[in-house]
Amino acid sequence: MSIDLSDEEIKVIILGKLKNRVCWGAKYMPLNTLVRWLSKRIKRNGKKVQRAIRQLFNDGFILLHKKGETVSLNPARAKEIRNFIENR
């Protein structure tokens, strides 16, 4: 069942998923796995997820590794990431 979530809610879900899997810095998660996991739960087949990931990267919350194929949380902004997740 797909639901329609706002961009902020998608960002919180992405950051929460990476935080729960302890993907900080050099420990990363394949981007395809993250998009596929979320696109099953969100309408528009992953396009909103990819847009949210791009925005998080531009804001400096996440880091891309291996030519953009893997993603991890930015350990330099750990406090901001935790606050973002808790406040939304």
pTM over 0.85: yes
The Cα–Cα gap between 18 and 29 comes to: 8
Domains of the chain plus CATH, in order, are: 7-87 (1.10.10.10)
Would you state the pLDDT for residue 44? 67
CA–CA distance from 3 to each of 9, 17, 33, 59 (Å)? 12, 18, 19, 26
pLDDT in tens, 46-67: 788 889 999 999 999 999 999 8
Question: Residue 40: what residue type?
Answer: K
Judged against a pLDDT cut of 60, whether residue 1 lies above it is answered with: no
72, 25 Cβ separation under 8 angstroms:
yes
71, 23 Cβ separation under 8 angstroms:
yes
